Amino acid sequence: MKRKNIDKCRILRKKQTDAERKLWLALRDRQLSGAKFRRQFSIGKYILDFYSPEYKLGIEADGGQHYEDEGRRKDKLRTSELSQVGVQILRFSDREILNNIEGVYQIIQESIEKKIGSSPSP
């Protein structure tokens, strides 16, 4: 399946926010629970800030626009549509990432561990 928005993904990777940069430092190179994450990964019409294909786990670093009515509405629709294809979304505010990165890591790690624990044995 050909992914859409490849050029836009590349641009977004170059224009990371401080929060995205800080979170990427922990997610890259399988540092968190051995999970492989990709940055600015396209799924259908959406581009996720971070995505683990193995665990179908998307992580979003939300800036201020996500807390306005229109942003909340779009995020709710996006989360719903992605969950229909089996992708779980975790959302963190930029402020939370910058000020409580340990707590963010813990939530992501717990989510991965739940997915590992709930997957059927071969």
Rg (CA), the chain: 14
N-term to C-term CA, the chain: 26
Helix axes 101-118, 18-27, angle to 10 degrees: 50
Q: Does domain 6-114 have CATH number 3.40.640.10?
A: no
Q: pLDDT for 76-119, tens place per residue?
A: 899 999 999 999 999 999 999 999 999 999 999 999 999 888 76
pTM > 0.85: yes or no: no
- Which residue(s) pair with 93 in the sheet? 62
Which residues have C-beta within 8 Å of that of residue 95, sequence separation ≥ 6? 19
Q: pLDDT for 37-72, tens place per residue?
A: 999 998 888 989 999 999 999 999 987 554 567 777
